[in-house]
Amino acid sequence: MTDNKEKLDFTQDKSSRRPKSTTPSTVKKPENKDALGAMIKVTIDGKDIKVPMGTTILEAAKELGITIPTLCDHSDLCVAGVCRICVVEVEGMNNLQASCAYPITSPIKVHTHTRKVRQARRHVLDLMLAKHYGECYSCVRNGNCELQDLADQYGVDFYRFGHMEKPEKGSDDSSYAIERDMDKCILCRRCVRTCVDLQEVGVYDVLDRGEETHIGTFLDKPMNEVICINCGQCINRCPTGALHAKDPSDVIWNAIDDKSKHVVIQTAPAPRSAIGECFEGVEPGTPLTFEMNTAIRYCGFDKVFDTNFSADLTIIEEGTELIQRLYGALVEDKGEALPQFTSCSPGWVKYIEHFYPEMLKHVSSAKSPQQMFGAVIKTYYAELNDIDPADIVTVALMPCTAKKFECNRPEMNDSGFKDIDYGLTTRELAQMFKEAGIELPKLKKSDFDDPFGTQTGSGVIFGATGGVMESAIRTVYELVTGKKIDDLFDHANIMPVRGFDGIRYAELPIEEVGPVPELLEGLVPNWDWLKGVTLKVAVAHGTANAKKVLENIKEGGKLSECHFIEFMACPGGCLGGGGMPIPTNEEIRAARAKAIYAEDEASEVRKSYENPAIAKLYSEFFTEGPCSHKSHELLHTGYNVRGKKMV
C-alpha cells in the first residue's frame, strides 16, 4: 500500500467567506527558525524567552509557565479576541492587548498582572456575570465551567454590576440531542466558530448588534428545525452550560428501578478511553474499560455488552455491500455508486442528508453499530433468552450526541420496537456513576457479558478516525486474498489511514486472490475480477473536511476514483465526539487515540470476521449470510433527502 497524501492538494481554500475579524492574525511563523530575525526575544513578567516571529503573547507565556486566563480562545478554533479576559500590558502601549490575538513581531516587554490588568479582567468578569444566569447548583456544568473557575480564581464575592436573577430567554430543548440555554451564554462565539469554521455546518451566528447582540439560529428557529447535524462539537467547546446534551439518565434510572424491565447497555469504543477524565487524578488516555463494566453492573444494568461486536458486524455487512458494488461496477458494468461512503457516524449522515442529498446513493445502507446492536438485541438476543422485546430497554453508551437523534429516527425500529431506546454520552454515564457513589478508577475490573462480549481490536479502533477503514481493510484483504494482512503491515497496523490529517488517502493493490470464503459463498463466483485491482480508499474527519472530499468528488477530482471512503463528523472521529468529556483539544484527542490503539494491539481478535460472536450470529440467525434479505431487514436502512432549505 502506498500513502499518496502528498499528491492531494486541498490547500486552495475556496471559502473566502470567513470574517477576517475571527481569522487568526496571520503573521506567518518562519519556517527556518535559524534565519535572521526569525526568533524574537520577549520579556514577560521579567522572564525572557525567544519565540518564533508571529507567536502570540499567550503562547509565549504558556511556554514560560505563566498562566493568562482565557475564555473565547480555544486551540481548535480561529482567534476571536472578543472576551478580553486575556488582556495584558505591553510596555509602551497605552491600551491593553488581548494576548490570544497579539502576534509578536518585535521585541516587547509584557506584564500579565499589573493593577491595570487586574482591574480590567475583574471588570470583564463582573460584566459577564451580570448578564449570565449563574445558577451553578442546577447547572450541568457545575464543577466544570470555565466562567465558574475564573470567578473562583479572581475571588468574586459580590456582583459589582448586578446579577441576572431570573432567566430571560428560556432554553430550547426541541432537539433530541442539543439543548441551548442562552441565558448562560457569555458571547465568546466559540460555538459560532465551531459550527461555521470548524464544522462548516452553519447553524449559529451572531445576530443583531450592541446590547441586543446574541447567538442565534436562522430566524431564531428551534434546534429541531434547523440544519443542525447534532455533532455536539459546540457543546464540547462551550465554556459554560449554555450548550449541553439532552440527558436521559433520569429515565434510564427509572428503567433500572423497574424490575419488569431488562436493561442492557452497549458501550462504544471511544468512551472507555476517556471516561476517566471525568474523575479526579485520571490523565487523558487512561482506558478504564473493565472498571467501567463493574461500575455499570453496580448501577444496576442487567447486561453490559461491547459495541465492538456490532462494529465487527458492520464491517461484514458494509464490506459485503462494498464487494457487491465493486462487482456490479467492475464485472456487471452496472452504474454502481462508487465510492461507497461509511454510515457509522450519525452526524455525518445528517450532514450529507442536508448538504449533499444528491450523493446519498453513495452512503452504505448498513446501519451504524449502535443501531445494528439494538436490532440484534431485540430479535436474536430476545429469542435466545426468551425475553419479550417489549421489556428490553436498550441503552447505548456513546461518545456522541448525534446518536441521541439517530436512535429516535422513525425508521430505526425494524425489530418492531425502537432499536435503541436511549443514547447516553460518556459524560452522562460518568455522572450516573458519581450519583451512585462510584469512584471509577478504584473499581475492580470485570468482563463484558456474553454473548456479545468479545473484545476485538477491529471493533475498538472504530473509536478513532481511520479505524473503520483499517478494520475494513484487514477483513476485506484477508477474505479476498486469503493472505494475512500482517505480511503487508507490521502487526496489522495500517498506518497510512491513521493519524489526524484532515483527509488521508491510501491505495491497496490486490496482486493475488484466494478462494471465496464460506461466509460470502454465493455472493460472487470467485475473486478473479479483483486480481490486479488497486483499491483506493480515503478517510476524512470533521464535516469541513467531508465537504472538501465531496466537492472533490463532484468535480471529478482524484477522490472520485476512490472505492471506499470513511467519514466521521467529529474532528478526531468518535474520540472527539460531542458526548465526550470536556475539555477537548488536540493533545487530549491524541491521548485517547493512543489508548484506543493500545487496546487494539492487546486484543486477541483483531479482524472482524474472526470475532466468534459474529460467526455464531451468521450461523444461527442471519443464516443466509451478510446482505441477505433478513440482514437487510434488520441491519440496513435508508436515508432522507433533507436539503438545506429552512424556509
Partner 1 sequence: MQVIEREKVKSEIKDLKAKYGDDRSALLPILHALQNKYNYLSDVIMQETAHSLDIHPVEVEGVVSFYSFFRTNKKQGKYVIRLCQTISCDLAGKKNVARQLENELGIKFGETTEDRMFTLEYTNCMGMCDKGPAMMVNDRLFARVTPAKVSDIIADCRSNFIKTDFPDVVPSNVEKTGPILNNDVKNHAGLKKALKMKRPDILAEIKKSGLKGRGGAGFPTSVKWQLAAAAKSDKKYVVCNADEGEPGTFKDRYLLYQHTDKMLDGMTIAAYVLGAKKGYIYLRGEYMYLKNFLLEKIEKRKEENLLGKNILDKGLEFDIELRMGAGAYVCGEETALIESLEGNRGEARNRPPFPTDVGLQNHPTTVNNVETFIDSALICAQGADWFQEHGTEQSSGTKLFSVSGDCKKPGIYELPYGITIRDMLAEVEGEAAKAVQIGGAGGQCIPAKDFDRKISYEDVPSGGSIIVFGPERDMLKVAKNFMEFFVEESCGQCTPCREGNPKLLEGIEMLEEGRCSSSYLSELIKLGETMQVASKCGLGQSSPNAFLSIVKNFKSEVLGRVPEKV
Angle at 586 between CA 56 and CA 177, to 5 degrees: 115
Q: Are 405 and 237 in contact (CB under 8 A)?
A: no
Contacting residues toward partner 1, per CB under 8 A:
15-17, 19-21, 25-27, 79-85, 87, 94-96, 98, 101-103, 105, 116, 119-120, 123-124, 127-128, 130-131, 160-161, 186-187, 189, 196, 201-213, 216-219, 226, 644-647
Q: Are 305 and 420 in contact (CB under 8 A)?
A: no
Of all residues in the chain, what percent are helix, strand and coil, respectively (each to 5)?
40, 15, 45
Considering the complex, state which of residue 219 and residue 495 has its C-beta at the smaller distance from partner 1: 219
Concerning whether 135 is annotated as a catalytic residue, the answer is no
Concerning whether 188 is annotated as a catalytic residue, the answer is no
Considering the complex, state which of residue 602 and residue 646 has its C-beta at the smaller distance from partner 1: 646
Measure the N-to-C terminal CA separation of the chain; round to a whole number of Å.
48
Considering the complex, state which of residue 641 and residue 647 has its C-beta at the smaller distance from partner 1: 647
Whose cell is 447548583? That residue is 137
Considering the complex, state which of residue 54 and residue 269 has its C-beta at the smaller distance from partner 1: 54
Considering the complex, state which of residue 7 and residue 645 has its C-beta at the smaller distance from partner 1: 645
DSSP symbols for 121-161: HHHHHHHHHHHS---GGG-TTTTS-HHHHHHHHTT--S-TT
The sign of the torsion formed by the CA atoms of 466, 468, 469, 471 equals positive
Min dist CB 230 to partner 1, Å, is 17
DSSP symbols for 510-549: -----PPPGGGTTT-S-SGGGTT-EEEEEEEESHHHHHHH
Concerning whether 200 is annotated as a catalytic residue, the answer is no
Min dist CB 155 to partner 1, Å, is 17
Backbone angles phi, psi at 255, to 5 degrees: -65, -40
Concerning whether 624 is annotated as a catalytic residue, the answer is no
- The catalytic position among 195, 228, 344, 570 is 344
Look at residues 129, 76, 120 and name the one whose alpha carbon lies nearest to residue 99.
Answer: 120
- The catalytic position among 89, 277, 317, 321 is 321
Cβ-based burial of 288 (10 A; exposed 0-12, middle 13-18, buried ≥19): buried
Length of the chain (residues):
647
Considering the complex, state which of residue 121 and residue 362 has its C-beta at the smaller distance from partner 1: 121
Concerning whether 610 is annotated as a catalytic residue, the answer is no
Concerning whether 321 is annotated as a catalytic residue, the answer is yes
Considering the complex, state which of residue 249 and residue 543 has its C-beta at the smaller distance from partner 1: 543
- The catalytic position among 175, 310, 364, 368 is 364
Considering the complex, state which of residue 208 and residue 333 has its C-beta at the smaller distance from partner 1: 208
Concerning whether 318 is annotated as a catalytic residue, the answer is yes
Concerning whether 601 is annotated as a catalytic residue, the answer is no
Instruction: Please name the amino acid found at residue 102.
Output: Y
Q: Can you tell me the distance from the alpha carbon of 371 to that of 237, in angstroms, rounded to the nearest whole number?
A: 27
Min dist CB 160 to partner 1, Å, is 7
Q: Can you tell me the distance from the alpha carbon of 570 to that of 194, in angstroms, rounded to the nearest whole number?
A: 11
Q: Can you tell me the distance from the alpha carbon of 232 to that of 348, in angstroms, rounded to the nearest whole number?
A: 12
- Helix (H/G/I), strand (E/B), else coil: 7: helix
Residues labelled as active-site residues: 318, 321, 344, 364, 403, 406, 411, 574
